[in-house]
Copies of this chain bind each other. A is one copy, B any other.
Amino acid sequence: MSLESPAAAERAFYTAFEQGSVDAMMAVWADRPDITCVHPLGSMLIGRQAVRESWLQIFLDASPRLFEIETVSTLYSPETAVHTVYETITIPPNGPRFPPIIATNAYRRIAGRWYMVLHHASPFAAPEDDAGSPMIRH
């Protein structure tokens, strides 16, 4: 698995997600006690054990998934990268296409390789009707 750049780490993350492989998934995450993961509408999960258990639960549903990732926003500094992306998940070959998810993914450079330290995913309402229009209530 290549983690030579934030983009490579992001590919490895979504490949592990598509494959439903907890080991491949956790190899993308940094070995730090403060890694942080928020699944859509879920609570904040901190640390490798909580993050790993969440992926085990998600991967219990072994349906194949394909991701289309549109990386819209990137922020780079020498040690940290933050991407905000639209994730569109489809179930191949002709299964449902779920509404897009917005995810913020942060990566940290550790010993020359880039590891995920944060994944914050959240649902995105009514993209057809609401593009560019924020909710009034925060």
Contact = CB atoms under 8 A, between A and B. Distances in A.
A60 interface: yes
Copies in the complex: 2
A94 interface: no
Nearest to A127: B43
A41 B101 CA distance: 10
Interface string A35-46: 011111111111
A102 interface: yes
Contact of A123 (B44, B72, B117, B122): B122
16 contacts: A34-B75, A41-B124, A42-B125, A42-B133, A43-B130, A46-B72, A57-B136, A65-B138, A77-B77, A77-B78, A79-B80, A80-B80, A84-B118, A102-B120, A102-B122, A120-B120
